[in-house]
Amino acid sequence: MGLPPPQLFAEIYEIHGHRCPMSTLGGRLGFAAKEKLAGREARATYFIDTCAADGISVMTGCSRAAGTLQIVARQRHALWLQDADGLGLFAELSPSALQLANTYRTLDLAFQKEEAHLSKPERQQRLTAKELFLEELLQNLWTLPDDELMNFATTLPADLIDGRG
């Protein structure tokens, strides 16, 4: 499988309004799923409402506005992409991918909690360190192999069909 072109990540961040691990992972998930469906037009369902939805939208061409991207609250970072012929692909972010994203979230939350108590130089130093960490993390997420970030199946898991997931 190939990697998404870098300009698509720039498009995700522009649409999303900021650079973050989850929009990036959504982009990777959407790109890989669309590539596995040989680029055919499809409808998408994502099973949690997070930043990842914007990445999925850019990479799959599906959108909430067009009615081709549906968000279903099942609290799983999982995507079901199905073409007009009924061919579907299930893709879910791996625990290790979610852990990578959480490293930045933890760092960001700690910064937000402590920011008001930092001197201006300390605040700038921490902000710079946070931005460097994010840049390195995003570059990692852009290039890690698909099998390190996600799992695939050709059927939708039963717990997502019947609402238990």
Q: 59-109, pLDDT tens digit by residue?
A: 999 999 999 999 999 999 999 999 999 899 999 999 999 999 999 999 999
30 phi and psi angles, rounded to 5 deg: -65, -40
Does any domain span residue 133?
A: yes
Residue 163 lies in a domain: no
Is 165 inside a domain boundary?
Answer: no
Q: Are 37 and 80 within 8 A, CB to CB?
A: no
Question: pTM value?
Answer: 0.93
Q: What is the pLDDT of residues 2-37, one digit of tens each?
A: 899 999 999 999 999 999 999 999 999 999 999 998
Q: How many domains does the chain have?
A: 1
Given a contact cutoff of 8 angstroms between Cβ atoms, the answer to whether 12 and 23 are in contact is: yes
